[in-house]
Amino acid sequence: MSTLGVWRTSLGEQPVSVKRLSAPGEHDPPSSATPVTSPTGAAPPTW
């Protein structure tokens, strides 16, 4: 299984990143629709 993308969100007031292994579904929040991208064009980190 490969990484589809890394999304930025928050858990309460704590910023977190979410590593997605599948595409966001129709019931996922809109914030999960656009993956985080690097300003340098580098691939997102894998954790």
The token duo for 3 is 């990484």
* pLDDT tens digits for range 1-47: 567 778 788 888 888 888 877 767 777 777 666 666 555 555 555 55
Pairwise CA distance, residues 11 & 30, whole Å? 15
Q: How far is CA 19 from the centre of its chain?
A: 5
- pLDDT value, residue 40: 54
- pLDDT value, residue 38: 53
- pLDDT value, residue 35: 61
Residue 7 burial by CB count (10 A; 0-12/13-18/19+): exposed, middle or buried? buried
Pairwise CA distance, residues 23 & 14, whole Å? 24
* pTM as predicted: 0.37
